[in-house]
Amino acid sequence: FFSGPKGLPLSGLHALVTAGPTQEQIDPVRYIANRSSGKQGFAIAGALAALGARVTLVSGPVGLETPKGVERIDVVSADEMLAASLAALPADMALCVAAVADWKVVGAGVQKIKKTDDGKAPVLQFAENPDILATLSGLGADRPKLMVGFAAETEKLLAHAEAKRQRKGCDWIVANDVSYGSGVMGGDENAITLISDAGTERWEQTSKHAIAQRLALRIADHFQKSPSG
Ligand code: CTP
Ligand code: CA
């Protein structure tokens, strides 16, 4: 097995990992967000660090300990997550594990929205957030050589995930079934299918830590075969 200069397979490589949800402000006391514990992204960051990579973890609001050997940057919104990710470049690889809110609220106010006497609910207007995975994948010289996306789907898992890989221009996509009853959302286990140019590979349900270790080893193997990524 190839060893980097400092004896570990990912020594000398910089990995950027996004994790957790983002929160998009409605007003000072309210926000919208995705359901995401951040556990899978944090486990991946830790597994890459354990194999010798320098890891920058850009995290949305989560209640998790920073994995050993990982540099963590906390952000709240998608705009902040993109800015922190771009600032962390150059990186040899980027793994976008975050559940980024797809929309932000237009004109989020500095004052709390108050209820009105007529009982009318407020109408929120949304604008699409920047796509961090697509943005990083589309960079020229600064593009991390290995771009990995995640696709959480509730139906047509492989078709939707492969379409996402094409659309966003990433190299690998990790597809996971988050349909009701799969039991993976927020839990400690996950079952995934890895999709790359080489085809698809199903990894049976196991702990998020085991998935992270296997993915880190697969990445080490990739860089061993093509050291420039
Ligand atoms: N992603 C991202 N920035 C966004 C949205 C998504 O970086 N604004 C990344 C996620 O981190 C993940 C991948 O893109 O790696 C797929 O996210 P997903 O929400 O499944 O894709 P979307 O294009 O937002 O499609 P959907 O309509 O299914 O939500
Ligand atoms: Ca989305």
pLDDT at 177: 85
Band of the pLDDT at 205, cuts 50, 70, 90? Answer: confident
Given a cut of 80, whether residue 5 has pLDDT beyond it is no
Query: 96 CA distance to ligand 2 centroid (A)?
Result: 12
ipTM: 0.99
In total, the chain counts a number of residues equal to 229
Given a cut of 80, whether residue 3 has pLDDT beyond it is no
Residue 211's nearest CA partner among 223, 219, 200 is 219
Q: What is the pLDDT of residues 30-44, one digit of tens each?
A: 999 998 999 999 999
Q: Does 176 qualify as catalytic in the annotation? A: no
16 phi, psi to nearest 5 deg: -105, 130
| Residue with CA closest to ligand 1 atom 28 | 153
pLDDT at 4: 46
Mean pLDDT of the chain: 93
d(CA 8, CA 28): 46
Q: What is the pLDDT of residues 124-179, one digit of tens each?
A: 999 999 999 999 999 999 999 999 999 989 899 999 999 999 999 999 999 988 87
Query: 90 CA distance to ligand 2 centroid (A)?
Result: 25
Give how far Cα 142 sits from Cα of 95, 98, 131, 138, 145, Å: 15, 21, 17, 9, 9
pLDDT at 99: 96
129 lines ligand 1 (CB under 6 A): yes
212 lines ligand 1 (CB under 6 A): no
* The two structure tokens encoding residue 152: 């959480």
96 lines ligand 1 (CB under 6 A): yes
Query: 24 CA distance to ligand 2 centroid (A)?
Result: 13
Q: Is 226 helix (H, G, I), strand (E, B) or coil?
A: coil
Q: Which atom of ligand 1 is found nearest the CA of 164?
A: 23
Given a cut of 80, whether residue 68 has pLDDT beyond it is yes
31 lines ligand 1 (CB under 6 A): no
